[in-house]
Copies of this chain bind each other. A is one copy, B any other.
């Protein structure tokens, strides 16, 4: 059975990506990275999602002092609020965390190399990528090549793959795929802010809300509370 490492933030996208990997019949290890986000709510969701799917969760804490430039890390910086139609069109937003997916994928590559996994799965998707350069398909392909050359698995002839199964889906498509795969969507957290309930106002909340609306189902994370 092929092993795969899935990057799990505890959000909607990575949870659906995790269920997709399980659906492939792979032996999945999840990897959650704490990098000093504004709040720990996402990571609690990652733990709950992994537990509900009986998937082992590896957790890495890292503190990168220079990440204070991002409003997703520095609580003093205001979160951006732009019209939904303009998300992804106004350049790179303040929530961009420099090199985040490069770091995440490298940690996943290190874990994959340790357990001889052949696939790294990430929930990146381009339609709502909000201008993040490290969510682009060409980045994932370039990283895949680096991971093949820079690992034992790759050097010994294995083909590590970097897979972004949600790449072509919009939020409604991700919700529909999640429903089809019986993903524990009620346990996921997308809000950029912390708190007991999603703020409903940040970019991430509004994209999620629109996704559930378009899929024609209520958001179970809102009704569950």
Contacts and interface: CB of A to CB of B under 8 A. Distances in A.
Interface in A135-151: 136, 138-139, 142-143, 145-151
A110 B114 contact: no
A150 B114 contact: no
Interface in A72-129: 92, 96, 98-103, 105-107, 109-115
Interface stretch (A54-62, A165-173, A189-197): A54-62
Contacts of A133: 149-152, 154-155
> Chain copies in the assembly?
2
Nearest to A133: B155
Contacts of A143: 146, 150
Interface of A: 58, 60-67, 69, 92, 96, 98-103, 105-107, 109-115, 133-134, 136, 138-139, 142-143, 145-152, 154-156
